[in-house]
Chains A and B, each alone.
Chain A
Amino acid sequence: MSLFDFVRRKAPPKSAQTAKDRLQILLAHERSSSGTAEADYLPMLQRDIVAAIRKHVPIGDKDVEVRMERGDQMSSLEINIELPAVKSKTG
């Protein structure tokens, strides 16, 4: 460990760099969809999922929650489905 290591110590990211990174990710995403309604498949996807589950379990439209987290390499889609509770007499 050199005495001057502290000089080369990585500085925390400057906010301007954070701004540039955020914009690049977002714009790459928006341009790739060329301004069309690309996320519009999500409502349909959700409808299909609800329909599929309803074949087996009675759930309402509100019991499905879709979340998305976009990244530069990959995006994740998180789908939360609340199943009806088994009603107990004491509850």
Chain B
Amino acid sequence: MTTEPKTNPPLGRIIVITSGKGGVGKTTSSAAISAALAKKGFRTVVIDFDVGLRNLDMTMGCERRVVFDFINVIQGDAKLKQALIKDKRVDTLSILPTSQTRDKDALTKEGVEKVLTELKADFDYIICDSPAGIEHGAQMAMYFADEAVVVTNPEVSSVRDSDRVLGLLSSQTRRAETEGAEPIKAQVLITRYDQERVEKGEMMTVEDVLEILAVPLLGVVPESKAILKASNVGTPVTLDGPSAAAEAYQDAVSRLTGETVEMRIPGERRPGLLQRLFGRAS
């Protein structure tokens, strides 16, 4: 139990999941993406940067197991290893919860850097779940990132805020401040996409959003009932049985890891005649 086999050196790649606007699916996406990465065998840790409004723990279903948190580690009250919660479903997945009681000023740049450096030595992917907004907490979540996933709904205020966040990613981060460094690899993940409304002309298309934001597309996650159902029970949607949303996240994760996956928008499977006649549990 104490010695884990280390087959190859960890990739140590830091990815921030951000958006500017709240409620677009940052935490849902952080949970789904990190679980899917871990399921592929990558050593993955997901960190909650939303100090004071902890929620990643609930989405991941480990809210009853939080002992120490990110802030305890930054302030030296606990060791990193003690604060990391090992997922019970996928053994390559860990969660670093945040504090529910402190405020975001507890996130110091030096403290965050120290924790991330330590994590880079053990993990392939370090997923930073950013709080909404563009204040200190969000800035700390993105500052050290190598890559960014900007979660966007095809809706005016979300796209506007994503544009603002893309601006910050290219100016207020370490990669932006370091001369000669490769800029953060930013990509957009469109969530809550409703094909039916797009066809009716009620919702912006993927092309519309990409034309405005002018960054590469990581994936398109359809509006899906599976999302709420998964969060109800504290399971990342990618670990919760087949669904269109899970498929979309899996595709997105394959692209994150460098695979080439054809862009498609998975649709919800319509129930067949027999299923509709006789109904189905859940």
Give chain A's interface residues, CB within 8 Å of chain B: 11-12, 14-16, 18-19, 22, 25-26, 30, 35-40, 42-43, 46, 61-62, 64-71, 75, 82
Contacts and interface: CB of A to CB of B under 8 A. Distances in A.
Given A25-B64, A35-B101, A37-B101, A62 B234 contact: no
A68 B228 CA distance: 27
B66 interface: yes
A62 B80 CA distance: 9
B68 A43 contact: yes
B67 A68 contact: yes
Interface of B: 2, 58, 63-68, 72, 77-79, 81-82, 100-102, 228-229, 231-234, 281-282
Contacts of A22: 58, 63, 233-234
Contact of B67 (A12, A38, A39, A71): A39
User: Considering the complex of A and B, which 10 residue pairs feature the smallest CB-CB distances, nearest first?
Assistant: A19-B232, A15-B232, A43-B77, A70-B64, A37-B101, A68-B67, A15-B229, A18-B233, A66-B67, A15-B233
A74 B77 CA distance: 25
A83 B109 CA distance: 35
A26 B2 contact: no
Nearest to B235: A15
Contact of B58 (A15, A26, A82): A26
Contacts of B65: 67-70
Given A37-B102, A62-B81, A82 B2 contact: yes
B64 A43 contact: no
Contacts of A15: 228-229, 232-233, 282
A39 B78 CA distance: 12
A25 B232 CA distance: 14
Nearest to B99: A37
A26 B234 CA distance: 13
23 contacts: A12-B282, A18-B233, A22-B233, A22-B234, A25-B64, A26-B64, A36-B101, A37-B101, A37-B102, A39-B66, A39-B67, A42-B78, A43-B72, A43-B78, A46-B82, A61-B79, A62-B82, A65-B81, A65-B82, A66-B82, A67-B67, A68-B65, A71-B64
Nearest to B228: A15
